[in-house]
Amino acid sequence: MRATRGVYALPTLPVPRAVAARVRGVLSHASAAEHYRLKMVTPPDRVHVTVAPGRKPRPVDGVRFHYRTLAPDEVTRHGVTTVLRTVLDCAAVMPFREALAVADSALRQDLLLPDELLAGAVVLRGPFSAGPQRVARLADGRAANPFESALRAVLLDAGLPFTPQVTITSDTSSARVDLADARLRLVVEGDSYTYHGTRPAFTADCVRYDELVRARWVVLRFAWEHVMFDDRWLVEVVRDVVAWRTQELGRRRR
């Protein structure tokens, strides 16, 4: 089919790529992340296309234009920004929790190496460099899913670092938890109803969390709604428990 003058595309070409071809641009940002099947907190609600500075494409419903000069090695032969460029672009414009989820996903799927991401971010300059550099420092391929990445991002914003995907073994059980502080013996879990909403899953969760408490760990559980819409309360809870556990640890040492 004819996408635009001098540009033809197969009828099976995904719509976002067809849109990018039509305006002689490059699929980028969240749309490129979707192309690479990177897991995101929320899917893109419009097609993101990067065009050269100075270009003035006609407005297109459902399309957001970004203006940037892309090097040849930042664009694939399919007209999509590379994984590295995509992750950095997302980190430049997305909220931290969403950008971290994209970067975590790229590392988890081995589409990027941590050193590649850091090297790509450290050379950036200008007002849009701080976000990518922060995301590059804190991205972690051990994160299991976007929900967990968003939860960790909320805690990082509050100065509360936790290690993702920690295996806790005791005399009676072994469990892999979302986030943990081994020093404080504190676990923070993101409970998704999608994966925990059946009777067998509920029963298994009861055993899992009871065994963690039995092994002298404190377990905090948060739902998607807490992370996305009530993060202030979430941070207050974690901060208070961290302070309490720190005091307990200090008393034991004395």
- Residue 226 is part of a domain; what is its CATH number? 3.40.960.10
Contact status, residue 67 vs residue 85, Cβ threshold 8 Å: no
Q: Are residues 39 and 11 both part of a single domain?
A: yes
147 has pLDDT over 90: yes
- Look at residue 7 in the predicted model and tell me its pLDDT: 67
- Point out the domain boundary residue: 138, 165, 187: 138
- Look at residue 3 in the predicted model and tell me its pLDDT: 62
Q: Are residues 18 and 105 both part of a single domain?
A: yes
- Point out the domain boundary residue: 110, 138, 166: 138
Q: Are strands 2-4 and 7-8 parallel, antiparallel or unpaired?
A: antiparallel
- Look at residue 10 in the predicted model and tell me its pLDDT: 64
pTM attached to this predicted model: 0.91
C-alpha to C-alpha distance for 80 and 86, rounded to whole angstroms: 9
Average pLDDT, integer, range 163-177: 96
Q: Are residues 158 and 77 both part of a single domain?
A: no
Q: How confident is the model at residue 15 (pLDDT cuts 50, 70, 90)?
A: confident
Q: Are residues 158 and 227 both part of a single domain?
A: yes
Average pLDDT, integer, range 222-247: 97
- Look at residue 58 in the predicted model and tell me its pLDDT: 87
Q: Are residues 11 and 115 both part of a single domain?
A: yes
Q: Are residues 94 and 127 both part of a single domain?
A: yes
13 has pLDDT over 60: no
Domain hosting 186: range is: 146-253
Q: Are residues 111 and 195 both part of a single domain?
A: no
127 has pLDDT over 90: no
- Point out the domain boundary residue: 112, 138, 164: 138
Q: How confident is the model at residue 179 (pLDDT cuts 50, 70, 90)?
A: very high
Q: Are residues 164 and 244 both part of a single domain?
A: yes
- Look at residue 19 in the predicted model and tell me its pLDDT: 87
Q: Are residues 134 and 17 both part of a single domain?
A: yes
Average pLDDT, integer, range 196-222: 91
96 has pLDDT over 90: yes
C-alpha to C-alpha distance for 125 and 121, rounded to whole angstroms: 9
Q: Are residues 33 and 109 both part of a single domain?
A: yes
Angle, vertex CA 135, rays to CA 129 and CA 141, nearest 5 = 150
Query: CB under 8 Å to 15, separation ≥6 — which residues?
Result: 47
- Look at residue 17 in the predicted model and tell me its pLDDT: 87
Average pLDDT, integer, range 61-87: 95
- Ranking 15-24, 66-75, 97-106, 212-221 by mean pLDDT, the lowest is 15-24
Candidates 51, 53, 35; CA nearest to 43 is 35
Q: How confident is the model at residue 254 (pLDDT cuts 50, 70, 90)?
A: confident
**Integer angstrom CA distances of residue 84 from 4, 34, 46, 124, 219:** 28, 14, 21, 13, 36
Q: How many CB atoms lie within 10 A of CB 239?
A: 14
Look at the chain and report how many structural domains it folds into. 2
Contact status, residue 174 vs residue 168, Cβ threshold 8 Å: yes
Q: Are residues 45 and 129 both part of a single domain?
A: yes
Ramachandran category for residue 124: left, alpha or beta (phi over 0 → left; psi -120 to 50 → alpha):
beta
121 has pLDDT over 90: yes
Rounded-to-5 percentages of helix, strand, coil across the chain: 50, 20, 35
Length of the chain: 254
1 has pLDDT over 70: no
Beta bridge partners of 50: 26, 66
Q: Give the mean pLDDT of the chain.
A: 93
| Run of H or E including 22 | helix 15-22
Q: How confident is the model at residue 145 (pLDDT cuts 50, 70, 90)?
A: very high
196 has pLDDT over 70: no
Q: Which two tokens stand for residue 58?
A: 């006609």
Contact status, residue 32 vs residue 68, Cβ threshold 8 Å: no
104 has pLDDT over 80: yes
Q: Are residues 92 and 41 both part of a single domain?
A: yes
The Cα diameter of the chain in Å comes to 78
